[in-house]
Amino acid sequence: MKDRFRLMEEMDNKQISREIQGEVIDELVYCVEDKRHLSYAGVRYAASLLGGIHVKDVTCSYNEALDQFEATVYAENRNSGITMAGTAEHPTSQVVDSEQVRDMFARRTAVSKAARNALLAVMPVDHIKKVIEELQESTRVLESEAQIPETITPDSVIEYLKEFGAPTEDLEARLHSHRNVVKVRPTRFLGSYSWCAIDRAIMKIPGTSWLKEENRWEVPR
């Protein structure tokens, strides 16, 4: 049976691979063996909330003997003056369905994991615990039921998102009469958690789509 640290590492590996391929990651907390931990994306989210944390130096080399990339990343907490190193390794191949498969993202994965470890090292434990608690509470809100509006209008969509628990203070909703849809877009840059909370709620409305190039959702009427 795998220990929780290995399980978390495997889940983070999958998150990093998905992120490299352009996906938006919204799993910020893992529950493993009844314990909650920040995921790879959750660590970055916690660092962004704290502010003043910067990655200073990144090194990565290939270990031919072990056939793996080994990375070291230094992160600085400018609020506390602490600088810590994070290290990580990642093999260049793995077994999938009994076959050895090369991992084309091995180097980037090693660097990403080292950055995660460095960020964790410079954040206060109390801050990490607080973020996990807040994310748990937000998840409970987002899991609550909200009635999908019978009539789709800019106001009804925003009201639905509020009831669902998604943040709406930085959203704009307008009617696109020619295409018979309601356009919903952020009025400023949204952090990963806010974007994912909105996306999780609004995509429950049948037919809704996210237009990446135009940075907005379209809700059919």
Task: Note the pLDDT tens digit of each residue in 26-83.
Answer: 778 887 766 788 989 889 989 988 889 999 899 999 999 999 999 999 999 999 999 9
212, 107: one domain: no
Which residue among 139, 163, 195 closes a domain?
Answer: 139
71, 115: one domain: yes
For tokens 């990403």, name the residue. Answer: 112
Region of poorest pLDDT, from 4-8, 100-104, 112-116, 158-162: 4-8
47, 130: one domain: yes
124, 182: one domain: no
Give the C-alpha separation, 110 to 71, whole Å.
6
206, 168: one domain: yes
27, 117: one domain: yes
**Looking at residues 149-167, what average pLDDT do you find?**
87
49, 132: one domain: yes
115, 160: one domain: no
Which residue among 99, 122, 139 closes a domain?
Answer: 139
- Compute how many other C-beta atoms are within 10 angstroms of the C-beta atom of residue 149: 16
103, 149: one domain: no
* Per-position b or e across 119-136, b if 16+ CB within 10 A of its CB: bbbbbeeeebeebbeebe
109, 12: one domain: yes
* pTM (two decimals): 0.63
So what's the pLDDT on residue 145? 58
Which residue among 89, 110, 139 closes a domain?
Answer: 139
- Is the backbone of residue 115 left (phi > 0), alpha (psi -120 to 50) or beta? alpha
Alpha helices in the chain (DSSP H): 4-20, 40-50, 106-122, 125-142, 154-164, 192-202
| Tally of structural domains, the chain | 2
Which residue range(s) make up the domain with 20? 4-139
129, 149: one domain: no
To the nearest 10°, the Cα dihedral for 214, 217, 218, 221?
-160
SS3 assignment, position 82: strand
**Dihedrals phi, psi of 211, to nearest 5 degrees:** -100, 100
**Looking at residues 212-218, what average pLDDT do you find?**
85
197, 90: one domain: no
Q: Binning pLDDT at 50, 70 and 90, where does residue 191 land? A: low
